[in-house]
Structure formats: C-alpha cells, structure tokens
Amino acid sequence: MRVSRAFPVLPFLLSANISVQAQASGDASNPLTGSVGIHDPSAVIMEKGVYYIYQTGGGFKTSRDRLHWTNGGRVFAANPAWWDREILPPEKPALWAGDISYWNGTFYYYYSVSAWMDFHSCIGLATNTTLNPDDPAYKWVDRGKVIDSAKGNEGRSGNVNVIDPCLFQDGDGRKFLNYGSFTVGMRQIEIDPATGLRPVNAAKPILISDHLGEASFLIKVGKWYYYTCSRGTCCAAMQSSYQVVYGRSQKPTGPFLTRNGGSMEKSAYEVLLSGDAAHPGQGGQSFFRDHDSLFMAYHAYTAPDGRSLLNIRPVYLDKDEWLTMDPAKGEIIRGGGTAAIRIGGTARTGRSRAAGPFGNAEAATLLFGKGFDATGASKP
C-alpha cells in the first residue's frame, strides 16, 4: 500500500469492494463508471478480451471496455502462512500494493505485505496461468518471499520499507524489481528470469533515491528509461497532496535525472501529475499499453468528499522527449518504431493499431475500443 505515514488510512481506502459512479461523484472529467473506488492500481492487463486491474487489499476489478469496472474477487482466499512470520504481533499482516505482469507463459503478481507503521515489510510473489477465475486452470500459487526490509536496507541508516513492487523487463531479457519506502527512498534489485525470485548471492540493492518517493514504476520509451514515483501526502481525502514525479536515464539502473541535471538520488524530480481543486492528491501510478499507446492508471482523491477513485489517462511525449500529461505540449506515445514502449514483463512494441469506430488520431478516442492482450490471444 503506497501510503504516507502522516495520516491514518481512511476506511474506504482499504475496501476492495467499493462501488462508486465516478461521474455521479461530481467528477465530470473522469469517464470511468462502476466499481472505481481503488487505491494503488496496478497496470491494466488484458487476457482474452477482458481487462484486469489489481489494487491494495488484494482485490481486482475487470472490464470489457476499460470504462465500466466490476469487482472481480481477491487473489488470496486466505493469507499465506509465512506472512505471520514477517509481521509480528500485535500488528496483523495485510496485502498492500501489487504489480501484475506476463512472461514465460505465466502471470506474475508481486505484492507487498505490511502493517500500518510497521517498517518491517516484504514483497512476495504469486503466479497463475490465467487471470480468469472461471477458468478451470485458475489457481494462484504463492512462491514465497522475494525480499524483506532487512535485506532491502543494504546497511543504510533508517528503514527501507520494502513495499510497492514494480517489475521491469529490459530488451536484453534482464528483469529488475523496483520498490519504494516513502521515508528513505526507492531501490532496485535484479530478478532471476527463471524463477521470478531474487538470485542466490544477489548483489546489494541499487539506490535510486535516498529519500524521495514511493510507488515506483519504471518504463522505457525509445532510448530513455523513465523512473516514476509518488510523493507528498496520501490517504487524507481532500487534504491529500500526492503527485507523480519522475526522472530519466539511458540505463535502467539510473541515475535518473531532471531537465536541469538534478538527480532523483538526491530528491530532484520532474512533475508529471499534480493535484488540483477537484483532485488535490493524485498518485499511486502504473503504466500500461493499450491501442498501441501509453496510458497511466492512478488513484485521485476526488471532490467533494475525497474518495480515492480510479483514473486512466494517456501519456504524451514533448519535443525534448520528456513525459507530459498535457496533450497541448506533446504527442501521444505510440508503441512502434523508435518510440517502442517497454513496460513490465511483456515487451509491448511494434504492434499496429487498427482504426475503430472512433478513429485513431484524437486523444479522446483512446478511452475506447480494443487493446493489447498480454497473452496475444484474440480480442472480442
């Protein structure tokens, strides 16, 4: 769960079954409907014509059109027994933010296990061959712990809270797991492609930032790697100040820099998305490809009562190859050619986009239609 330590978690943020009509909440800018109450959305992933998105608490939602969302259930019917060995009494372990990806014919779900104000957190892994609960093959197999705060601390002072995993696969097949901590920054470890776990005798975690951020998410567009994270106060309804920030590098391990040469390692950043009067805090972001274009899913604390609602918007690239959410300042990021997009475990590159009933030029049309299927299966 990607949360600030400054405020208590509001009860509605922990519910995996909130059902809110976004438009009925007064947010005319958000076209999503149905069960859109969410915290820390994963990347949206499609299997056989159905979109899936995962969230803090271990629940997931489904959609046929990426506009109307329905609660789909939970990953774990019961907590794996090893969680109780990680989070000691009187605290109780809970599943926080997770990350979903697809590679080697398998879905990989990296998830956080933590408790409020308990900085001995860890990241676990579960796998499945399908995301569809109605499929006879559906079964989440827990693979155990990937890393915990003791191993993720690399001997530095303070507690690296090992939460908010994000898997990134590079073009050469190397896989990196990124995680964040809110108080003492973000780290990165390499993952064994054969197991999805951390290799035996692995190198120390790579320092991405010494203080900045949580909710890390790494993507590559063209020659640039963009490391995004959330900063500010979350979980405080209309008093939230969450925002999405980033830096870029020509290496997946950084250093990730700003336009002026500042480093994320020392808490410098570019702002991708900040709050406004209707959404004072926006963050917990993930990225995915659909319509051969790049999108960001995130939660926004939304007026009038500050409920945390799912938002999905296209991402743009300006003339100097910096990310922006403003269509007036950049071009839609397409998935082919020199701007090939690489996100998560599946290479999302070079796939042509078919024109649909809404055309294929204007940004608004990107909210509709058929998208990228993780497994390569046919679309409805």
Full DSSP string of 256-280: -B-TTS-BGGGT--EEEE---SS-S
Instruction: For the chain, give the percent of residues with pLDDT over 70.
Output: 77
pLDDT at 120: 78
The residues that bridge with 127 in the sheet, in sequence order, are: 108, 141
118 within some domain: yes
Average per-residue pLDDT for the chain: 81
Tell me which of 343 and 22 has the higher pLDDT: 343
pLDDT at 290: 87
The encoded tokens of residue 187 equal: 């780290």
The encoded tokens of residue 109 equal: 């779900």
pLDDT at 45: 94
pLDDT tens digits, one per residue of 180-204: 887 788 999 999 999 999 998 888 8
377 within some domain: no
pLDDT tens digits, one per residue of 298-343: 999 999 999 999 999 999 999 999 999 999 999 988 764 334 566 6
pLDDT tens digits, one per residue of 237-282: 999 999 999 999 999 999 999 999 999 999 999 999 999 999 999 9
Q: How many domains does the chain have?
A: 1
Spatial distance between the Cα atoms of 357 and 1, rounded to a whole number of angstroms: 38
pLDDT at 149: 82
Residue 296 belongs to what domain range?
A: 11-367
Give the catalytic positions in this structure. Answer: 40, 214
Amino acid at 330: G
The encoded tokens of residue 237 equal: 């309804």
380 within some domain: no
Q: Give the pLDDT mean for 44-52.
A: 94
98 phi, psi to nearest 5 deg:
-130, 170
| Burial class of residue 280 (count of CB atoms within 10 Å of its CB; 0-12, 13-18, 19+) | buried
How many other CB atoms sit within 10 Å of the CB of residue 260?
7
Tell me which of 17 and 360 has the higher pLDDT: 17
Q: CATH number of the domain that 61 lies in?
A: 2.115.10.20
Say whether 333 sits in a helix, a strand or coil. Answer: coil
The encoded tokens of residue 260 equal: 């002026």
Per-residue pLDDT band at 376 (split at 50, 70, 90): very low
6 within some domain: no
pLDDT beyond 50 at 207: yes
The residues that bridge with 231 in the sheet, in sequence order, are: 243
How many other CB atoms sit within 10 Å of the CB of residue 82?
14
Say whether 83 sits in a helix, a strand or coil. Answer: helix
4 within some domain: no
Q: Give the pLDDT mean for 34-41.
A: 97
Spatial distance between the Cα atoms of 376 and 126, rounded to a whole number of angstroms: 21
314 within some domain: yes
pLDDT at 2: 45
Q: What angle do CA 60, 196, 54 make, to 5 degrees?
A: 10
Strands 33-34 and 68-74: parallel
- 318, 256 in Cβ contact below 8 A? no
| Burial class of residue 70 (count of CB atoms within 10 Å of its CB; 0-12, 13-18, 19+) | exposed
Starting at the earlier edge strand, list the strands of the sheet with 331-332: 323-324, 316-317, 331-332
Spatial distance between the Cα atoms of 99 and 114, rounded to a whole number of angstroms: 15
127 within some domain: yes
pLDDT at 148: 87
Four-residue CA torsion sign, 20, 26, 28, 30: negative
pLDDT tens digits, one per residue of 343-369: 665 443 322 222 222 222 233 333 333
pLDDT beyond 80 at 211: yes
Torsion of CA 285, 257, 321, 312, to 10 degrees: 10
Per-residue pLDDT band at 98 (split at 50, 70, 90): very high
307 within some domain: yes
